[in-house]
Amino acid sequence: MKDKDGGTVISLNGKWISHTHTVFAYLGFLGALIVGVNLHYHKIVKNEYYGYPQEWFPSVSATIGDRYPERSVFQICIALTSGPRFMLVLLWYYLTARPGASLPKFVAFTGVARTFLCGGWVYITSTDDHDWHDIFMISYLVLTLPWTLGCLATSPVNQKAVKYRKILASLFFGTLVPLVYFFIQHKVHKVPGAYTIYAFLEWSLILYDVGFDAVTALDFEGFELRLVDTKGGFNRGETLVRYRSTQMADVYVENSKKDGRPLAQEFSNAFSWAAMIDTLSDVYLGFVFWSVLTSLGVVVWYFPLWHMGISGYEVCILATISPYLLTNSAVRRAVFSNLRFVYIGSLTTLVAFMVITPEVRLFLTTTGLFFACLAWASNFSLESTTTKMDLKTAAFSLGLIMSSVAKFANQTNNPIWPLMNSINGGWNKTGLLLTVLAIARIHFRQPTYTPVDTTMYSGKGGSKYLAAIGLGGLLFALHSLLSDSSTMITWVWDGYPVKGPLAAPHGAYTLFAMGGGFLIGLLRQELATSPAFFATGCIGAFFLQSFHGWWGFYGALVLAVYLMAIVPSFIQSCARYPPGSTFGTAFMVYNLLVLAHVWVVAYAFVPGGFLLRERTWLVMTITMALIGTGLSVIVTNPKSGSHIKSRSEYGISGVRRTSRSYFIYALAGLELLAVSIAYLRFPRYDYKPYHPEEKLVTAGIWTVHFALDNDMWSSERRMRDLIKEMELDVVGLLESDLQRIIMGNRDMTQFLAEDLGMYADFGPGPNKHTWGAALLSKFPIVNSTHHLLPSPVGELAPAILATLDMYGTMVDVLVFHSGQEEDAEDRRLQSLGISKLMGDSPRPLILLSYLVTDPKKGNYNTYVSEESRMKDIDATDWDRWCEYILYRDLHRVGYARVSRSSITDTELQVGKFVVGSGKQSTEEQIDEDEVREGLRFPPQFRGDGVRGHRYHVFDKPRYFR
């Protein structure tokens, strides 16, 4: 067509651009499916375990990338899709952009990035380079979340289009849950047909993803792109974007005036990198606070662990009540006027890693926490206007989420803790540098606070102590349940076959729930503090406490949402009153709950322990009751904090250029990081034993002292090295439950299993009140059950009875930790219980245990008896008291005792067995040269050994005919 000046005009209707994109995209996938089914059906439906007829529908990846010509059909169509795709993103930006608005730019950037990433996984197939194909694919899926939410947030007022977008987005994200479930059924449980169902769900994601973008046709009906050749009137080929009518422009102006979309309004201001850096600095300081707070418990725990009772160092937990100092007006004035230096004081925890002596590291950690609690209590009081308080509490909450994400990425160790260093996986120097930069950014670029008068607080109504009690209960709940994404997963873990969530990838679900709660607290505080929402949180706590598997985890997710949602309201409630009495009392309540949390399992070693023995339910009930108490004050005074004088009244200038939108950006980044970590940590389940040619099983038992070595460093990597070099196929780990505040809410089995390539059974969870028993196995764990042996007086004795598939033979492995020497009747009853478990097993069996008995005396004769049918791996080894390996119906090959170095206080005992040989070993010992090389123990531990590990007691392994 011609314009009025005689130039050539090419009009491209936005609707037809959208249609073209949709047609070519669907044609690529469906064309490849049709060609593949017709030419290579049996090949593309076959997976690593099954083929036709168990699996009868191909997955997307097998269809589009494995075979020619279907791969070429797909790649050609996707190439044709790329042009309309870029045009679609461009037109969407022009349609939604407003002067100064930052969100449309972010959505456009996401759309362009997804298009390039799509090209990455399309043209680099899994057969070309599996790693890069996965990197492009997971990056594409991760960016699907901000693209979808961004398009929904910026959608013009078109009810039909918005409706379809919501439906398709809900279907897309809702499908991810069963998708993961059936993938686990296929990958973990090897269920026939599960991959076919997974394939259908995978194809449905394609339909929803492309369909979501196809909805733009409804918005583009009144939108077109014109290319005009103006014969010199304009530069040749200049592109003009015009509305075909004023209808869409009118609608858009009307939409901009709407007041019902507060979240969109948050994004309407111009994006500021300075504000973004301010926000990230705030969030990082929140991360540092939670890192310092969560580090103290595990550092203190080292000392009573070695003393086997109260050490006196427990008094260090009182560092958290430093805000009580603010009750003194002189101290308060000094702290408020020099807050930046108080923050610097918290750096002492971050430099503790430079010191080797445990006592000095404890002192530095305590000092850092003292200043950190003082700084944050003061800051909450000074951020007195509601808006500024929202931002400070947002940084506090996101700091917790960031801490959990960091632990998720590092298999439950925080990389800046004082028990970490460059050798065992720490990032201490990097963390220290970033903290210095964050403090400099936030505190040294602003004017100092003028002295504050005591009359600044005029809180009326309610009670400051009720508010403090509520905050104390909330702090404890956040720390004990949400400071690690896997803690509540271990609460509901019930063994194999898997009937619930796994730490990876389902830890990301916990992080998403925390993020959801954060958004509710940031945007809808009236909902967060409603009685109905509190009742919902209580129901979640009840489900977590009462159920295993998915139902218990659903309760955990509900509780996570609730706890994160109420953080801003509870902190604002306390900020209404003088900080000393409120925040000091809150941390004192927190400390009392921490002690109760320890007493439920440490009852045998502490005064008055019987009062809370095995009563986690009571601690949970008290916690929720305290939170309810704090909530009552907020309900009575819904406008908490509004009457405190603003910062400008105390001479503060240079107000920070930030808003809630930047915290939402930060949250999105953390959640996307969580998704990526979950993908990278997804178990491969392709584990192989060390010597399958011999049908050899090398089994060990080790009491690992809660993954703290003798010098108070995290010991997982040192443990990993010895387990790997000893070529252990199966190992029982005792004193392994670290999912408590005093152990740092950790889980050593995650790192060991993932790094060594082993299946892991965490054993009885932290709500079962034991010190822990865990099992790692190169062999698939077909079934496992958890047992608590009779313990009428002393500590609970955990056991795991697992059935392993060893070279096609089902073999039972029993991991057991007996009670202490002081409780003779407990140990007698436990020996009877374990003997019955062993006697009732119809399969070959290996006992990996901690028995607390002399060889051939007392309870030993119950474990090794006609009822149990068990044999001692070496009845001539008289120098034992704790660790024993017993067996039956297997051919014993060898036995060794390996010194611990400084990793723990107990040696590693190892036995070698051959499965299904049909031969029984005798008591006759033989020399190593009479044993085939594949059956021998590693030679490097002879003599002085390596890294402090050597064969000791006998100075060499023992072998049997």
Range 368-377 burial, b when 16+ CB lie within 10 A, else e:
bbbbbbbbbb
Measured CA to CA in angstroms, residue 793 lies from 440, 595, 825 at distances of 55, 21, 8
Task: Write down the residue that tokens 């085939």 correspond to.
Answer: 932
Type of residue at 358: P
Q: For residue 799, what is the enclosing H or E element?
A: strand 797-806
Q: What share of the chain is helix, strand, coil (3-state, %, to 5)?
A: 55, 10, 30
Task: Write down the residue that tokens 């925390």 correspond to.
Answer: 514
Number of helices (H) and strands (E), helices first, in the chain?
31, 17
Type of residue at 145: L
Active site residue 691: no
Cβ atoms within 10 Å of 338's Cβ, excluding its own: 15
List Cβ neighbours of 586 (8 Å cut-off, separation of 6 or more). Answer: 323, 468, 469, 471, 472, 475, 574
Residues across the chain? 961
Task: Using CB atoms within 10 Å of the CB of residue 105, give its burial: 0 to 12 exposed, 13 to 18 middle, 19+ buried.
Answer: middle
* Of 179, 222, 231, 227, nearest in space to 200 by CA: 179
Q: Note whether 382 and 356 are within 8 A (CB).
A: no
The phi and psi torsions of 802 (rounded to 5 degrees) equal -120, 140
| CA 354/CA 822 separation, integer angstroms | 39
- Strand ranges of the sheet holding 8-13, from the earlier edge strand across to the other edge: 8-13, 223-229, 239-243
Cβ atoms within 10 Å of 90's Cβ, excluding its own: 17
Task: Using CB atoms within 10 Å of the CB of residue 257, give its burial: 0 to 12 exposed, 13 to 18 middle, 19+ buried.
Answer: exposed
Cis peptide before 178 (omega within 30 of 0): no
Q: Note whether 384 and 575 are within 8 A (CB).
A: yes
Instruction: Say how many Å lie between the first and final Cα of the chain, rounded.
Output: 96
Q: Cα Rg for the chain, rounded, in angstroms?
A: 31
Cβ atoms within 10 Å of 144's Cβ, excluding its own: 20
Write out the two tokens for 810: 């089902």
Task: Write down the residue that tokens 């589009």 correspond to.
Answer: 64
| CA 102/CA 664 separation, integer angstroms | 13
**Which residues are 804's β-sheet partners?**
781, 811
Annotated catalytic residue, options 817, 891, 949, 952: 817
CA dihedral 345, 347, 351, 353 (to 10 degrees): 120
List Cβ neighbours of 235 (8 Å cut-off, separation of 6 or more). Answer: none
Strands 696-703 and 730-734: parallel
Helical pair 464-482 and 579-602, crossing angle rounded to 10 deg: 40
Type of residue at 329: S
Active site members: 817
